[in-house]
Amino acid sequence: MPVFEFTLIILVGSCFAGLLGSLTGLGGGFIIIPLLTVFLHVDIHYAIGASLVSIIATSSGSAAAYVKEGITNMRLGMFLEVATTLGAVTGAMVAVFFPTNLLAILLGVILITSALLTLRKKAVQVVHQKNALAVKLKLNGSYPGENGTIQYSVSRIGGGFVMMLFAGLLSGLLGIGSGALKVLAMDNIMRIPFKVSTTTSNFMIGVTGAASAVVYLQRGYIEPSISMPVVIGVLIGALVGSKILVKTKSSGWLRWVFVVVVIGLASQLIYNGLIGKI
C-alpha cells in the first residue's frame, strides 16, 4: 500500500481510537495495536512503539487540565511512579525476548480484562482512617468536591505499590497505558476516591510510557512514519472526545460499545497469535 493511503487509514483509525478512548477513559492504545497488526499487517513491535508515543501525548495533554483543577494527587503519583517506571523499564527490556505471537496473545487477554474492568460500578468511597505509612509519605490529600473540599486517606500502600510494579511491567511490555489496572490498584487496594485515582493514574501514564519509550526508541521500534499519523490522530480524537464529555454526562451505552469493539479486536489478536500469523 502506498505511503499516502497507509498514512490516511492510520490517521482515521487513530482518530476513532482516540475518541472512544477518551470517552470511556481507557486510552487509545487499546484499539491502535490491533488495528495496525491485524488489519494493516504491521510488525507488533512497531505497533507497540507507536501506541506508546500516543499514550504519552494523550496523558500529558489531559494531565495538563486535571493538574490545574487540583484533583490529581501529585505526591501519590510521584511515589507510585517509582514502581511503574521500574516495572516499565523491566517490561521494555524483556519485550525483545518475547516471540511476537506470544505478545499478541498476552495483549489480547489484557485488553479483554481491562475492558471488562471498566464496567465495574464505581462506589464513592472516602476513607478517613489514618495509615501510619501514608502519613509519613504525606500521601493523604483532599480534592474539590461538589459540597466543598473532601479529605481522604490512603490505605495499604505496599499492596498498591506491588500492583503498580505489575501495571508498569505490562505497560513496558505491551505499549499500553495500563490505566484500568492503575485505577483498580488505587480504588480497590489503596481505597482512594475514584476521581482522584483516575486523574492520578492518567498523570502517571506519561512518565511510565516515557520510561519504556526511551528503550523502544533506541531499538528502532518507534517508526516515525507509523507513529506520526497515530499520535496526531489519537490526539485529535481525544480532544474531540473531551469536548463531547463536557456536554454529555451519561456514557453508559458508549462503554458497552467500547467493550464490544475491544473484545472483537482482542479476539482477532489472540486468534492470529495462536495460528502464528502475527
Q: Which residues bind another protein (CB under 8 A)?
A: 1-4, 6-7, 40-43, 45-46, 53, 56-57, 59-61, 63-65, 67-68, 70, 74-75, 78-79, 81-82, 85-86, 88-89, 92-93, 96-97, 137-138, 206-207, 209-215, 217-229, 231-232, 235
Residue 84: alpha-carbon gap to chain centroid: 12
Mind giving me the DSSP string for 213-225?
A: HHHHHHHT-S-HH
Report in angstroms how near the CB of residue 68 gets to another protein at its nearest. Answer: 5
Closest to another protein by CB, 97 or 253? 97
Q: Contact 222/49 with Cβ under 8 angstroms?
A: yes
**Shortest separation between residue 108's beta carbon and another protein, angstroms:** 19
DSSP bridge partners of 144: 149
Torsion sign, CA atoms 7, 10, 16, 21: negative
Closest contact distance (angstroms) between CB of 56 and another protein is 6
Count other C-beta atoms under 10 Å from residue 97's C-beta.
Answer: 7
Pick the closer one to another protein by CB: 130 or 219.
Answer: 219
- Residues 175/169, Cβ–Cβ less than 8 Å: no
User: Which C-beta is closer to another protein: that of 45 or that of 255?
Assistant: 45
Minimum CB distance to another protein, residue 263 (Å): 25
Helices (H), the chain: 3-24, 29-34, 44-69, 74-95, 100-117, 132-136, 157-174, 179-184, 194-219, 224-247, 252-274
Would you say 92 or 110 has its CB closer to another protein? 92
Least gap, CB of 166 to another protein (angstroms): 16
Minimum distance from CB of 215 to another protein (Å)?
4
64 or 116: CB nearest another protein: 64
**99 vs 122 by CB, closer to another protein:** 99
Minimum distance of another protein from residue 155's CB (angstroms): 19
CB atoms within 10 A of CB 66: 16
Cβ closest to another protein, residue 30 vs residue 79: 79
- Which cell numbers hold the place of 181? 489496572
Cα gap 207→214, rounded to integer Å: 11
